[in-house]
Chains A and B, each alone.
Chain A
């Protein structure tokens, strides 16, 4: 009976079990344990290092998850303030940092780089060892990466609030922070790549396709987005390429990877159809970075690019259809589990939204539709639902699944997850619907004004077109409040799980796969 190491966070110890072959990763743990204990000084130094950047199994996933929740609250707060300021520009007086123009990049960056990216990285650090059968390469580096990410996010808030914006959508932060962001994103890329090399599992599960490609795509996108000195229409093409690429290939892509893990794992049903998974993944890989310019139909960019963008967004409908069908198929015979599993509920609602939003974004790219909705708040409505509905729900699904297993405590309250889901759907859903409505009203009144000459979309005449959407913006602020209540419920549930969740099986990694043990 070969000895195998069982690694419990916080207290590493060896244990003997009767199964599992001794593999390379396990030997590494032991080698590391030998170090740092030779003298008292090194022990003290290493204990500080262990506190800042521990090497325990799953510590990086756990810490990223917690940080993501904190940034969700920050992002939710700024998003709420943003929509209040949209409807009531004088709310909180005229302080510089509370103007819409400064709040908007802060809200976006804390949502995208704070909440969603950190939760995705947590999911990556959680899923990759479980799917490859290897220990995460360099847990310490992964943990150090989190400190960099936290630093980058905090610096971004400060810098943007102070008014140092570069004025490029989603990349408003100054160049030195852009470099820090790229380094921060290179950490998961390196960790995933090296862990893949250590893998003991020969098969490559679907989730790994999305994760493996995603960690490279996102770095490529940030590099491409930061190519300097593009101007005019070229600069617009760069922004639209970057924004849509980050949404499709990173925020949605890794989310799909998580969903593909959660549904089979929880239902214990095998993946419904591998061919569908292939179609879904390669459609996304093929078309994900092409669709940006569909936001700027009739703009100054080349017309052929607008046409290819709308055409390729049809491939994204195919991708969404394949993923949603596959997830629904995987649920077969286990739909009753939706009642007990918050993760399943969030994943499946997210899958439905994925399909709806893909169709909607395809429609937005059609010339006849874009003639009305283009440059209105219609696109923002869709984006809110993509960030907080689709990607946000999948991120929450992961958190609700992984947290109890990471800390060995049962989720504090299942009821609260239902309220979280309701508040998010009602909040983000009505927020999106109101912005869609405002967009349609704007688009049609600009057109009507131009056709009839009664009022125009320029100068004094613009106020006339605004009167009608003001109510929609006011209600959108309320919807944003409901959405924030959902975020708060989520964060509260996670917090209470730490403080008063009942002890439950703790899932840790052993050579050969994850195993559940008690948490003392």
Chain B
């Protein structure tokens, strides 16, 4: 089809060329004529004489006032004369190019570019779920069993320390502090390397995910976190012990909770 006609029709109708082309194609298919003829007509040229009577259109009930509709010219056969009066006709004139128009009706079959090959969804699903189960077994269940000691060691935490651990977990201390020491140079000064068989049997772990603040695996055995007073002050009135820090204040915790949290850190050795 000529791009000039398309551009002309597009400009005349104030509708993007893409849309005009698709509408014209649908119109041409429905009427059994060429796309060029439709476009010529739409850009103000000769009227269309369809090769075959068009299929019955979908009736539009409750015709309202046409929105943004330019004076539309009905070109549906056999009527080729301009629409006489808007009152007598549906305001939305089918077949006429305008901003409000039924596009691509009747429905073309589903877009051919979105067709897949004939396949059994059950087979695809079975394979996908099967691969997932393999991963579940080998990347989660077996290594988790592997990393769980037969006899977990005693935690070494007092009742107060355990309570403090719960606060440590719930307040999300572990988002910024790890409690794991790796066998690499960055962690050389952090104390003994974390061994899976030495981790106590509490769920969840407090190994942590990143260090915005220092590692706390052995907080209780080094300066300054081995000092209960310093810790309490740091957690509640930070400015009294350190000028600038990224540590949020935990002044909102009750005194008992802070004491428990401090106890937990002191017992993390």
> Could you tell me which A residues sit within 8 Å of B by CB distance?
1, 6, 13, 15-20, 85-87, 89-90, 94-96, 99-102, 104-105, 130-131, 133, 163-169, 172, 196, 199, 201-206, 208-209, 212-213, 216-217, 220, 224, 228-239, 241, 245, 249, 261, 264-265, 268-271, 274, 282, 285-286, 288-290, 292-293, 295-296, 298-302, 304-305, 308-309, 340, 371-372, 374-377, 379-380, 442-443, 446-447, 449-451, 456-463, 466, 470, 473, 502-503, 505, 510, 512-518, 520
Q: Give the distance to chain A from B4, nearest Cβ to Cβ, in Å.
A: 18
CA distance A288 to B247 in the complex (A): 36
CA distance A137 to B128 in the complex (A): 23
Contact indicator B140/A238 (Cβ below 8 Å): yes
- The verdict on B185 contacting chain A, using a C-beta distance below 8 Å, is yes
Contact A224 to B199, CB < 8 A, known contacts A205-B115, A463-B245, A512-B109: no
Contact indicator B183/A298 (Cβ below 8 Å): yes
Find the B residue at minimum CB distance from A209: B124
Contact A235 to B203, CB < 8 A, known contacts A17-B106, A204-B119: yes
Contact indicator B128/A213 (Cβ below 8 Å): yes
Q: Give the distance to chain A from B227, nearest Cβ to Cβ, in Å.
A: 11
Cβ–Cβ < 8 Å partners of A96 in chain B: 252
> Could you tell me which B residues sit within 8 Å of A by CB distance?
16, 18-19, 30, 55-56, 58-59, 61-62, 64, 67-68, 92, 99-121, 124-125, 127-129, 131-133, 135-136, 138-140, 143-149, 152, 169-176, 178, 180, 182-191, 194-196, 199-215, 222-225, 242, 244-252
Contact A1 to B174, CB < 8 A, known contacts A274-B117, A460-B224, A503-B99: no
Cβ–Cβ < 8 Å partners of A289 in chain B: 132, 135-136, 139-140
Q: Give the distance to chain A from B123, nearest Cβ to Cβ, in Å.
A: 10
Q: A133's contact among B110, B143, B249, by CB below 8 Å, is which?
A: B110
Q: B116's contact among A167, A169, A206, A515, by CB below 8 Å, is which?
A: A206
Find the A residue at minimum CB distance from B101: A518
Q: Give the distance to chain A from B234, nearest Cβ to Cβ, in Å.
A: 11
Find the A residue at minimum CB distance from B120: A204
Q: Other CB < 8 Å A-B pairs besides A217-B129, A302-B196, A512-B109, 14 of them? A: A17-B105, A96-B252, A131-B110, A131-B114, A163-B171, A205-B116, A231-B202, A293-B139, A300-B195, A375-B210, A446-B186, A460-B223, A466-B213, A503-B100
Cβ–Cβ < 8 Å partners of B252 in chain A: 94-96
Cβ–Cβ < 8 Å partners of A270 in chain B: 112-113
Cβ–Cβ < 8 Å partners of B121 in chain A: 196, 199, 204, 208, 212
Q: B203's contact among A13, A230, A443, A446, by CB below 8 Å, is which?
A: A230
Contact indicator A85/B248 (Cβ below 8 Å): yes
CA distance A429 to B20 in the complex (A): 39
CA distance A196 to B116 in the complex (A): 14
Cβ–Cβ < 8 Å partners of B129 in chain A: 213, 216-217, 220
Q: Give the distance to chain A from B30, nearest Cβ to Cβ, in Å.
A: 8
State the total of A-B contacts with C-beta under 8 angstroms.
Answer: 355
CA distance A473 to B213 in the complex (A): 13
A selection of 16 A-B contacts at a CB cut-off of 8 Å is A94-B250, A102-B172, A105-B172, A167-B172, A167-B174, A168-B204, A203-B119, A232-B148, A235-B203, A268-B113, A309-B139, A340-B18, A457-B190, A457-B215, A459-B224, A520-B64
Contact indicator A233/B147 (Cβ below 8 Å): yes
Contact indicator A228/B203 (Cβ below 8 Å): yes
Contact indicator B58/A285 (Cβ below 8 Å): no
Q: Give the distance to chain B from A331, nearest Cβ to Cβ, in Å.
A: 12
Find the A residue at minimum CB distance from B183: A298
Contact indicator A1/B223 (Cβ below 8 Å): no
Find the B residue at minimum CB distance from A298: B182
Contact indicator B224/A89 (Cβ below 8 Å): no
Cβ–Cβ < 8 Å partners of B138 in chain A: 290, 308
Contact A101 to B204, CB < 8 A, known contacts A94-B251, A204-B124, A233-B147: no
